Structure 1
Amino acid sequence: MNKQCYLPTPAYTKYVCYPEFLGHYSNFPQHAERRSEGLLNSYNLHLIFAGEGYVFHEGERISMGRGKGFLFPRGAYQQYGSDLSQPWDVRWVHFGTGLPLPLLEEADQSRGYFFSFDPEAGLESLFEEMYRLGTSYETRYEPRLSALLYEILITLLQNSEPQHGAVSQEVRHSIRNAANIIHRECAGAWTLETMARLSGYSSYHFLRLFRTIMGKTPNRYLTDCRLARAKLLLVSTGFSVAEIAQQAGFAQSSYFIKVFRQFEGMPPNQYRLAFGTTAN
């Protein structure tokens, strides 16, 4: 299968990112590209969901199979292709953006970024929708096309690692699953030790991994989840501040008020007045 489509330059020029050319190749062993320096003036992202292929970079042949991907920056030399006997199933997109995302910055600096990603992270469906809108293009689809590309990049940011990265996808799954449980049960009496048990790691390693993967410490994440629940209760119920503190996981209402003021810049009652149902 050889599916591809070009998109016209968008009428609105201020999108943070926008696809230019995209496609899906499978059972297409002839797929091979070799582009000289300066030829392609857009980012080039490929994600492999099955089969095998390769990329040449700085004299090295890098094997590419399921769960592998590569990103070339604008103007980079590019050489890659499908394996002839086990052709890859690859989704790809050429795009423009000025986003300061780490994976884009890494591609710019190294002239080629090679990574592993989670094939179960929902990226296939995002590509499929982007392709469907592209092949039936209407100007009203432009915002959604931009949003889909942005979601792809952010999903990759959260579900990928450099080819020789220190944190495996299995570890990332474990930490994110722990974070999901903490979010659902944020009113519980959590400690660092009980949070660490969710993943099977020691408290020390859990703290380090959680901060790397989630971008914040477990305790800060727990506080953010509790505050989010408290804000919802403030704006949608008539519960007292003491009742809300208890339901959100704060042991004392005085501590809840202190933390709420620290993070939101106002006490809970003032927040309720400003954002409660009657205020909206």
Structure 2
Amino acid sequence: MIQLRSPSTVLTALAVMGALAAGPVRAEEAAPRPLEVLRGEIDRVDQDLLRLLNERAGIVAEVGRGKTSANAAVFRPGRQAALIRKLSAPAGLQSPATLARVWTAIIAGSILQQKRDFTVAVGDAGDLGIALLAQDYFGAQPALVRLASADDAISAVAAGRADVAVIGLQGTWWQRLPAGFHVVAAAPFLTADPSVPPQALIVARQPTDPSGDDRALVLLPANAPLPTGGRVLTEAGSTRLAALPPGTAPVGVSIGLYASPLDARRAP
């Protein structure tokens, strides 16, 4: 009998099995084997998945010990984005949406292995949509605390009551991030139209974590020219928040970056 190492692994295993079972599958037409045989094959694969999840969890535990000694962040948004992109790139029987949600759950389990009280503060000002974006990005496992404002969410991170803050683009909070804070990700990561700007930004008191395909976030004067391919996400007073494409020469005041979104439209 295979023993699970933690509750997070149980939840992750369930997410994998459920998502893979629900995902669209287009196999070549062939005479099907008897259902009893096919169900036995699925059970075998499920056991293989569980064994591999436990093997992965053992490696994550070792990584966690190394991060603790180095005081390194457990949340690696760039690595997460790069991994999901890589796994979604090959043509296969599962859609990018299915794969993204499966590995979001796996990564959430890994984060909780390394920091059981990992908490997401949502400064949503009563906008449930921002909380749903946070849950879509981090999965259902990490604790999520809804707060009244962006400033409250950032203060929760500053005080150690939360690890990250998920905040909509409204207001002027992006003009006054505390020292050591950066925008490290954006939501949604998986989108049906990558040309649409993000609806929320994810802020943490940690360095940025490039994914290899990122949009730089900069503060620009309202009358400054926008670099080619750049886009204004929001503006207030005499300042604009702009997202710049990869390879753009540095301009303005940098406040972070986020991974370019993953296109969910590729058919499996």
TM tier relative to shorter chain: under 0.3
Which TM-score applies when normalising by structure 2?
A: 0.28
Larger Rg computed on CA atoms? 1
